[in-house]
Chain A
């Protein structure tokens, strides 16, 4: 046994065990009950209660207030006094930690002295209880926090799962192949769509790289793109690449990807989608092909198209449209005003009105419009347009085309010109035959009469005037025929320099002394094949026009008149002859006549080749000069270009095709045939007004003349005439057998018969005649005595037919 104030070891051991055991007791009730039973063994303790967090264990109305007061006192002052209740000492010991007061241990002591040694130990038990409660409170809070966190995680996980399921469903149902690759380009995820795209399952794809599905060259190309994107950590978009399907066929894929970055910002892979581009590629190829074909069709058809959206005021032009209007296709289409400026003012005005009318009425338009040109050839388009309407029928814009009709216009102009030529030719041809016969009668009779009037000056003057008038009439007829290309020509190989030099004196006389004539012959000039007489006529006509252009002093503005004639070798390419359908590219000899006169305005220039078009006062021009030049050049398969502007003079350039043959000797240089007489000439002409005076002229020249009014009579004479016949002088156009046929027939009867044909106009027969008259001379009506004498004499002096050269009749 121990003394009353001694501390018993077993009691302390129990108190210590209480401290150990309290920890495993989960509830306040258990703790309170355990403590109460434990403290019962502590000396001096009669009973105990635990006031824990406002609850008294065990419940006791008697001690409830005491416990509450004790706790309140402790909270306010940090101590509480012992009390005497029903004669027993009651002490209150706190259960507290540094942070919180959890309650009070109320001890009812029956022996305060016996208890006192254990007070400190009981306090320790209290502290353990308080610490246990605090730890449990912390644990409870932690548990609550963890539960709340877990609930939150659970909720977020559920949300994430739903989101992931949605995403997965989206990924796995989208038509695109969704994938992810690591930093080495190896797939680490593949959506099931890959099976439809490439024929491999996602499991077969994972671990491979995109390049495993490509041909080596394609893999190299795409790898470069991928590496470039990866090094820069940038997305790549719509990279087209060609892959091989499991079954071997090629699949065109459009790939887009975004880099996947780690927390340090380094690229650890890419995530993206692949889309089957095969069908789209086919469509795009087809569209590109269609676009190309449309472009080519537009180019070939020379039709450009445009589309104007009135709502956005935007306009698009096709490439051909740009070309037609000469705008740079790399730039946006010009504005409306600038577009209008591409036309001549008149065309621009008509187009503007048509556009306004279309927008107002909804009706389309079709206009032929002339485009403004800066000195070049005029260009034309046909503009067509229709309105665009929206779903409810409102006009929302226009679309249309422009067709380059320049060539068609030129062809039309040329056709018109040809038609004019044809009509003029028919007119000229129609009258030329009879007219020349009549002129022959006039001239022949005038010449014969002149021989007989002697010194009668008045009669002589009158006859000369008749003769001159008849000559002018003959010239007029001849020019008409030349313009209409109906004139028979006698082309020969010649050097234009020689031809020009031979006429320079005549030209100087034509243009007058006040005009300085400059001759600039081209070196080593190629030969051409031309009728020298017509070259003379061309130069004469051009010189006359030039002279007239330099006579107006006001227009000359003090310049001294100058006419330059030049020749040169030129090569014309496709572009140069493009607007001259009769011509082919090649070598030409240019004959150029330039004056520094008043020049021509655009209207005059446009009509300069029109027959009977003249700027000269009445009676001062026939209006056939330039038309004749045009006709002659065309007849020689050449081309003519005129450059002129008001106040800047005029340059007329003629281009005649080069021939490789050597030039013929100058006919003009040949000796004039001596006069003859005594030979017998068979004269055949159905026109009595020609036949009689020609017969008289021949007789006058000393020839014997057998006269026939037609082929039948001529053959009869030939058959019956016993003596020789030296020359057949015959009209070409006659009823029945024509002159050529008559010649051939007579040559069968009288081989070697020399023949000289006469013609007022042989018309369509000329080519035939020309073919058959190799070795036969042609004498053009009207015929003067001088011409007749020269032609007959030359013919008779020549070698026997048919080796005679064809010598063109002089143009008079």
Chain B
């Protein structure tokens, strides 16, 4: 009933939404909607436990939630999230919760084009708002970027650009980086483009973060 009522709510403006504080589910602190975080982990159980809370929290907050799975098939990942405590709606209700293969999501045409992906994020957010949801949140397993897909070298650029997208479309995002798969230098770059980072379930403000414009100017100059 609450959700039905919620769905009948009027869309709010981006500015209002940007000021909305959201619960991430795994920490008591609330963060503004549209927070872009990287989660650097080396423990599968830890990441599953925290992300399941993050997904469950979003659904409970009347947000749409998207999950981009890379390591395991979506069905398995769905089961794991539920086993981790996330109360997911039936798979037919893909408007509220959608779990999709990361590679197919990021590279639908077999090539990673950051602009296209960023537009999909905007569209997703807008559809959610338009549908009367309180907001939108997403999380993706970023190991797809290690598969050598064309365009995956633009990952950091893409991550920097997200920070510009969420200003108008405050979609909350957690990018999952497996420290066992990504090398230290890449992880340092990842830190540069995420204003917030999560280590062992603790959310920290990232001192290495560089504003996207400055980072991109420098980054594009180097590359």
Contact B188 A34 (CB under 8 A): yes
Known: A32-B184, A34-B184. Contact between A24 and B206, CB under 8 A?
A: no
Whether A30 pairs with B207 at a CB distance below 8 angstroms is no
A–B complex contacts, Cβ < 8 Å, 25 sampled = A10-B207, A13-B207, A17-B197, A17-B204, A17-B206, A17-B207, A21-B187, A21-B197, A21-B199, A23-B199, A24-B41, A24-B179, A24-B200, A26-B179, A26-B180, A27-B180, A29-B183, A31-B184, A33-B183, A35-B184, A36-B185, A37-B185, A38-B188, A38-B208, A41-B208
B164 within 8 Å of A (CB atoms): no
Query: Apart from A21-B191, A31-B184, what 20 extra A-B contacts exist at CB < 8 Å?
Result: A10-B207, A13-B207, A17-B191, A17-B204, A17-B208, A20-B204, A21-B199, A23-B199, A23-B200, A24-B40, A24-B41, A25-B42, A25-B187, A26-B179, A29-B183, A30-B182, A33-B183, A33-B185, A36-B185, A37-B185
Closest to A37 in B: B188
In the complex, which of the residues A24, A34, A38 has the most CB atoms of chain B within 10 Å of its own CB atom? A24
| A34 and B207 contacting across the interface, CB-CB below 8 Å | no
Q: Indicate if the CB atoms of B42 and A21 lie closer than 8 Å.
A: no
B58 CB to nearest A CB, Å: 24
Expressed in whole angstroms, the Cα–Cα distance for A20 and B206 within the complex equals: 11
Q: How far is the CB of A18 from chain B (nearest CB, A)?
A: 9
Q: Note all chain B residues with C-beta closer than 8 A to A14.
A: 207-208
Q: Is the interface of A mostly helix, strand, loop or mixed?
A: helix
**Residue numbers in A under 8 Å from B204 (CB-CB):** 17, 20
A26 CA to B204 CA in the complex, in Å?
Answer: 20
Question: In the complex, A21 Cα to B199 Cα: how many Å?
Answer: 7
Cβ B206 vs Cβ A25 within 8 A: no
CA distance A20 to B183 in the complex (A): 16
A-side contacts of B179, CB under 8 Å: 24-26, 30
Contact yes or no, B42 A29, CB < 8 A? no
Complex CA–CA separation, A319 to B208 (angstroms): 111
**Nearest Cβ in chain B — how far from A48, in angstroms?**
12
A753 to B184, CA, bound (A): 169
Interface residues of A in 19-70 (CB under 8 A from B): 20-21, 23-27, 29-38, 41
For A34, the chain B residues whose CB sits under 8 A away are 184-185, 187-188
The answer on a CB contact under 8 Å between A24 and B184 is: no
Q: Given the complex, which residues of A lie within 8 Å of B184, measured CB to CB? A: 25, 29-35, 37
Whether the Cβ atoms of A20 and B199 lie closer than 8 Å is yes
Interface of chain B residues 171 through 223 with chain A (CB within 8 A)? 179-180, 182-185, 187-189, 191, 197, 199-200, 204, 206-208
How distant is the Cα of A309 from the Cα of B189 in the complex, in angstroms? 102
For B187, the chain A residues whose CB sits under 8 A away are 21, 25, 30, 34
Is B42 within 8 A of A26, CB to CB? yes
Which of B183, B188, B189, B199 is the one whose CB lies under 8 Å from A24?
A: B199
Please name all residues of chain B whose beta carbon is closer than 8 Å to the beta carbon of A21 when the two chains form the complex.
40, 187, 191, 197, 199
Across-interface contacts of A10 in B (CB, < 8 A): 207
Residues of chain B within 8 A of A25, CB atoms compared: 42, 179, 184, 187
Residues in B whose Cβ lies below 8 Å from that of A16: 207
Q: Which of B40, B199, B208 has the most CB of A within 10 A?
A: B208
Considering the complex, give the chain A residue whose CB is closest to the CB of B46: A24
Provide the residues of chain A in CB contact with B180, threshold 8 Å: 26-27
Contacts of B183 in A (CB 8 A): 29-30, 33
- With a cutoff of 8 Å between Cβ atoms, the chain B residues found around residue A29 in the complex are 183-184
> What distance in Å separates the Cβ of A512 from its nearest Cβ neighbour in chain B?
139
Q: How far is the CA of A16 from the CA of B199 in the complex (A)?
A: 13
A13 to B204, CA, bound (A): 11
